Structure 1
């Protein structure tokens, strides 16, 4: 495995989980909580997210085999899904959707369990993050990460999310509205290129299968 593969995996996980983009949602979900209550919510949501993504890193490929879904098909589907997430990020639709999900949860009296829903699921360990984890874990070439390293990266990303939640108020004030918009669009552009690469890999794998 080379440094390029490692950096690409880190960028994929950071963009799909989007810790910075979760800052306004986290603040909107915990407006009347004390600092200690916010920390408890942040810790629980982070642990749940890591558990879900670690499960799909370990068993996601086997789950696909059990469902009789080929990896090339999942690569293409995952790439299209990641492309849609990137589209939402670039055109500022993802934050609006997350805010709507957050407010919907509050109106349904689920504040007591908001660390699980909607914070961990589906905002952090959502379809895009799960797709990215399965695709990274299923790589079979020489540049593959390996399960231990992938789990370590997931733990690091979870730690990053936790740190961002702890510093949510200060970070939001520091970036400001313009900073949040610029960062979201930049990450969306990077994710767009990665999504296209996932589709190209899936189509290439299908061509190799048909040629055999």
Structure 2
């Protein structure tokens, strides 16, 4: 089996950028305020598993869902690129996640004992942007071997959420709001480039 290692590394960077676990730190800290270290570790573990499962299922079943609704993958790629561009522009302005929770939802999340799946894993981390991206990536892969490696890539990226959330308070104290905003803006720039690439490739493939 010959795999383009660089391609999978690029996919991993793209997924990490879209998940944006650094940008999720403030909400994570507010939602888990008052919980013990053991409870937070349990929540993080469930969040990581949920992110990996959601994105893996999206990668495996995404094409079938598009076929069921009669949506051409290139049209979906263009639409997904536009959506990612909106997220990227939002990140460049350090405005936080584009998919936001209402004050009522945040209040309910804080009161919940378990926020690992909703809203942390979905929609905060593995939201529409991440799901669209894995569907677009998986659609370009042929054969079970390539998809298996891609699923492995998704799991590795999901695992990167673990240390970031585990060290959330430490990172928040050390780099501060300014540092996190800088990191989010850098990831927003990377995401904008990925979004434009998706749009151009989708339009080109659909029209020509």
What TM-score, normalized by structure 2, do the two folds share? Answer: 0.91
Q: Aligned to 1:94, what secondary structure does the other structure show?
A: coil
What is the CA-CA distance between 1:37 and the residue it aligns to?
A: 0.6
> What is the match of residue 37 of structure 1?
39
> What is the match of residue 176 of structure 1?
176
Contact 2:8 2:153 survives alignment (8 Å): no
What is the CA-CA distance between 1:24 and the residue it aligns to?
A: 1.4
> What is the match of residue 129 of structure 2?
128
Unpaired segments ≥5 residues, structure 1: none
1:26 to 25, 28, 37: 28
What is the CA-CA distance between 1:153 and the residue it aligns to?
A: 1.0
Contact 2:8 2:150 survives alignment (8 Å): no
> What is the match of residue 186 of structure 2?
186
Once superposed, which parts of structure 1, at least 4 consecutive aligned residues long, lie more than 2 Å away?
Answer: 1-4, 102-110
Contact 2:52 2:154 survives alignment (8 Å): yes
Q: Deviations over 1:65-117 (max 9, x none)?
A: 1111000100000000100000110012224x66x627532423661331121
Contact 2:141 2:147 survives alignment (8 Å): no
Aligned length: 204
Matched, 1:85 2:87: yes
Counting only pairs closer than 5 Å after superposition, residues 85-124 of structure 1 correspond to structure 2 as 85-95=87-97, 101=101, 103-108=103-108, 111-124=112-125
State the Cα RMSD in Å. 2.0
What TM-score, normalized by structure 1, do the two folds share? Answer: 0.89
Q: 1:12 to 1:191 in 2, by over 3 A?
A: same
Q: Aligned to 2:70, what secondary structure does the other structure show?
A: coil
CA distance in 2, matches of 1:17, 1:149: 19
CA distance in 2, matches of 1:73, 1:204: 10
What is the CA-CA distance between 1:174 and the residue it aligns to?
A: 2.1
What is the CA-CA distance between 1:23 and the residue it aligns to?
A: 1.4
Counting only pairs closer than 5 Å after superposition, residues 194-209 of structure 1 correspond to structure 2 as 194-208=194-208
What is the CA-CA distance between 1:42 and the residue it aligns to?
A: 0.9
Q: 1:106 to 1:200 in 2, by over 3 A?
A: closer
Contact 1:105 1:111 survives alignment (8 Å): no
Unpaired segments ≥5 residues, structure 2: none
